[in-house]
């Protein structure tokens, strides 16, 4: 697979890890810069994403943008 084809096969997700280790890990589709397409999320996913963003540093660690290979 060429480098340009590999780039198109990669997708990204933004992942929020709970600080306590007890809550759920939350992840959402995003682009390479971490921009989440809010309009494409379900209501529940959008609410979870907005909640996780609001409580970074209190309940969730700063998010990480990670590539995920989706064939």
The pLDDT value recorded for residue 10 is: 64
Q: Which residue in the block uniquely carries the two structure tokens 């939350």? A: 26
The pLDDT value recorded for residue 9 is: 47
B/e letters for 42-62, b = 16+ CB within 10 Å, e = fewer, are eeebeebbeebeeeeeeebee
The pLDDT value recorded for residue 6 is: 44
Q: What are the residues whose beta carbons fall under 8 Å from the beta carbon of 1, sequence distance 6 or more?
A: 9
The pLDDT value recorded for residue 4 is: 44
d(C-alpha 58, C-alpha 29), whole Å? 23
Identify the segments of the chain with pLDDT beneath 70. Answer: 1-10, 69-71
Beta strands (DSSP E) in the chain are 10-16, 26-30, 64-69
Please tell me whether the overall predicted TM-score, pTM, comes out greater than 0.85 for this model. Answer: no
């Amino acid at each position: 697979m060429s480098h340009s084809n590999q780039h198109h096969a990669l997708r990204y997700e933004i992942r929020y890890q709970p600080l306590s280790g007890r809550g759920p890990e939350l992840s959402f589709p995003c682009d390479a810069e971490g921009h989440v397409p809010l309009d494409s999320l379900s209501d529940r996913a959008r609410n979870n994403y907005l909640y996780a963003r609001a409580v970074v540093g209190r309940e969730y660690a700063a998010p990480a943008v990670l590539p995920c290979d989706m064939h």
